[in-house]
Amino acid sequence: MPRIDLRRLILLLSLSVVTLTAGNLFFASYQTQRNFLMAQTLEANRIYAVKLASTTENFLKLTQQQLAFSAALLPEIWDQPEKLWQETHRLRRETNSFNSVTVIRADGKIIAASPSYMNLTGTFSSSEGFRQATSRRQPNISQPYIGSSNHLMIQISHPVFDADGNYLGYLGAGIYLNEPNILHSLLGEQYYRDGTYLYVVDTQGRLIYHQDPTRVGDVVKGNPAIDAVIAGQTGSLQLNNSQGIDMLTGYAPVPRIGWGVISQRPTAVTLEGLQRLMLEVAGYAVPLLLLSLLGIWWISTLITKPLWQLANSTQYWGSSTAAQSVSKVRAWYYEAAQLKNAMQKALMSLHQQLGRLNQENVTDPLTGLTNRRGLQLILEDWENRRQPFSVLALDIDHFKQVNDSYGHSAGDLVLQHLAQQMRRHSRESDVLCRHGGEEFLMLLPGTPPSQAIQVAERLRAAMAYTESPNGIPVTVSLGVASWPQARKTVALVLKEADQALYRAKESGRNRVVHADQDMPPDDANG
């Protein structure tokens, strides 16, 4: 697998650092501005909701004062229907705050009503507003209800008492929620084309004002802003409305009646200008970023050239021209110069050290054979040099019984005996390895499969017919495989040899099995 060179690595690192830094600055700037805009909008909506809640509170207070003044005039004209009607008409027309004004006796009979076309005079009221007003007999603002004219409405009422304090009835002013009314005048002008709008709910979460008239009367559940404002809280939060739109919401209660005023604006609208701004910033930043990367590429080429030349010379380290190749490198900065000098001084000693293994670290202390670490170094070297070889995987048969029956010292003698036999039946170039426990490997460089099987058979026979030092009969089973073969890796070949060894054990032990099942019998028998 080709490795990435230093120049590309520097470019990649620089690109990553520059991109991450620019991206982090861009993201941090965006997040800072975003949080500021959202906090600013939330606070603006909260203040706006407080302002309109106060406006609504003052309106309700004013209407109750108007009703109180008018109600104080009614006892003197209580038995004069014409004057009662004139007073209701005056009250409705003068303030333009109410859709209807009625005077209702204690028994529910409407004795005066404006406007006249509704024909309410002389009829009896049994509405929720009537029940609330007569039961409380004090200034009252009703909850929304369906009135006698089939309007969703609220009624602001004031009781009427005679000079002796007897309850005569009440003066009621109706505001129709699903028709143009004073709430529309107070709040309707606050709807903007950018999506900001207001709505008002009663103590049950019922919409009593909304920019969409069809929604007036709906009860909204699960809205945290509505839940908070009904509980008398003032604040702001980010939420998804009933249409699933992300909103920045401010809310405030109307203390006199317990209503809640909610002002909200879509988050997307709030951030729309910021997104355009960030795109403009990116448009200015990207060309400068590209110029910076071009400069980094040129500088990295200058820095890495001597190092690349020195690294390239190591490919011909064993040739006579290696020293000359190193001397031609123009090391123009300190690190490259030091590396060049070190390579020149160490060239000859490095030649001598190539291929030398530390015997103490790569030798099994019991058998004197190569251990796993040495085996790995040799296999890596052979694989890099494409050195063909055959491998013999061998295992002492019933070795556990030897340890259990004669003790571990006897087992150690058996292992040493096998190591001696492996040396007797190998060449100087062969690698003998104790792979672990009673498992051993023999690596035979440049040996074809047929010859490897012959070596395995000779070793098997020698172990079977040669008495061990302590007189214990010992046999071995062997598996044979070769590399390279059909694009198989060294690791896979070793695994195949190991699998062949286990097939030898399963088929009776004291035998040789080749990993290639299709090998002719003559080759397999050596």
One DSSP character per residue, 204-262 reads TSBEEEESSGGGTTPBP-S-HHHHHHHTT--EEEEEE-TTS-EEEEEEEEETTTTEEEE
Helix or strand (DSSP H, E) at 173: strand 167-176
For 56, how many CA atoms within 13 A lie in the half-sphere containing its CB? 30
CA proximity to 45, closest of 270, 236, 242: 236
Q: What is the pLDDT of residue 357?
A: 44
> Token digits for 392?
């013999």
**Mean pLDDT (whole number) for 13-25:** 81
**Mean pLDDT (whole number) for 196-211:** 86
**Mean pLDDT (whole number) for 66-85:** 92
**Mean pLDDT (whole number) for 433-448:** 93
Buried/exposed code over 489-498 (b: 16+ C-beta within 10 A; e: otherwise): eeeebbebbb
Fold classification of 359-524 is Alpha-Beta Plaits (3.30.70)
Cα–Cα distance measured from residue 418 to residue 422, given in angstroms and rounded to the nearest whole number: 6
Chain centroid offset of residue 310 CA: 45
CA angle 519, 522, 526 (to 5 degrees): 100
Residue located via tokens 């074809």: 448
Q: What is the pLDDT of residue 487?
A: 77
Pick the more confident residue, 409 or 308: 409
Provide the total of helices (H) and of strands (E) in the chain, helices listed first: 15, 16
Residue located via tokens 């010292």: 409
Helix axes 6-73, 81-95, angle to 10 degrees: 150
**Mean pLDDT (whole number) for 333-343:** 79
Q: Are 101 and 88 in contact (CB under 8 A)?
A: yes
CA proximity to 392, closest of 344, 333, 318, 455: 455
Beta carbons within 10 angstroms of residue 137's beta carbon = 15
Cα–Cα distance measured from residue 284 to residue 289, given in angstroms and rounded to the nearest whole number: 9
Q: What is the 3-state secondary structure (H, E, C) of 292-355?
A: HHHHHHHHHHHHHHHHHHHHHHHHHCCCCCHHHHHHCCCCCCHHHHHHHHHHHHHHHHHHHHCC
Residue range 455-513, pLDDT digits in tens: 999 999 999 999 888 887 899 999 999 998 877 899 999 999 999 999 999 999 999 99
Distances 350 to 314, 385, 387, 456, 480 between C-alpha atoms, Å: 11, 18, 22, 37, 36
Strand locations in 25-144, DSSP E? 100-105, 110-114, 140-141
Phi/psi of residue 412, nearest 5 degrees = -65, -40
Residue 353 banded pLDDT, cuts 50, 70, 90: low
Q: Among 59-68, 91-100, 229-238, name the one with the lowest average pLDDT.
A: 91-100
> Token digits for 395?
């295992």
**Mean pLDDT (whole number) for 345-364:** 62
Q: What is the pLDDT of residue 278?
A: 79
Strand locations in 356-429, DSSP E? 389-396
> Token digits for 379?
């296999």
Mean pLDDT score across all residues of the chain: 85
> Token digits for 138?
């004090």
Helix or strand (DSSP H, E) at 84: helix 81-95
Residue range 320-332, pLDDT digits in tens: 667 777 777 887 7
Q: What is the pLDDT of residue 524?
A: 39
Q: Is the pLDDT confidence value at 520 over 50?
A: no
Q: Among 133-147, 203-217, 302-316, name the one with the lowest average pLDDT.
A: 302-316
Contacts of 180 (CB under 8 A, 6+ apart): none
For 457, how many CA atoms within 13 A lie in the half-sphere containing its CB? 13
CA proximity to 437, closest of 472, 407, 395: 395
**Mean pLDDT (whole number) for 215-236:** 90
Q: What is the 3-state secondary structure (H, E, C) of 2-23?
A: CCCCHHHHHHHHHHHHHHHHHH
Q: Which residues on adjacent β-strands are paired with residue 436?
A: 439
Pick the more confident residue, 282 or 521: 282
Q: Among 57-66, 279-288, 366-375, 496-505, name the one with the lowest average pLDDT.
A: 279-288
Distances 217 to 146, 162, 209, 381, 509 between C-alpha atoms, Å: 10, 37, 8, 85, 91
Cα–Cα distance measured from residue 73 to residue 68, given in angstroms and rounded to the nearest whole number: 9
- What CATH number has the domain spanning 1-316? 3.30.450.20
**Mean pLDDT (whole number) for 115-130:** 86
Residue range 139-198, pLDDT digits in tens: 998 888 887 767 788 899 999 999 999 999 999 998 888 777 777 777 665 555 567 788
Cα–Cα distance measured from residue 124 to residue 109, given in angstroms and rounded to the nearest whole number: 4
Task: Please give the share of the chain, as a percent, with pLDDT higher than 70.
Answer: 90
Q: What is the pLDDT of residue 406?
A: 87
Q: Is the pLDDT confidence value at 133 over 60?
A: yes
Q: Are 430 and 467 in contact (CB under 8 A)?
A: no
Q: Is the pLDDT confidence value at 521 over 80?
A: no
Residue 3 banded pLDDT, cuts 50, 70, 90: low
Helix axes 408-424, 399-406, angle to 10 degrees: 140
Q: What is the pLDDT of residue 317?
A: 63
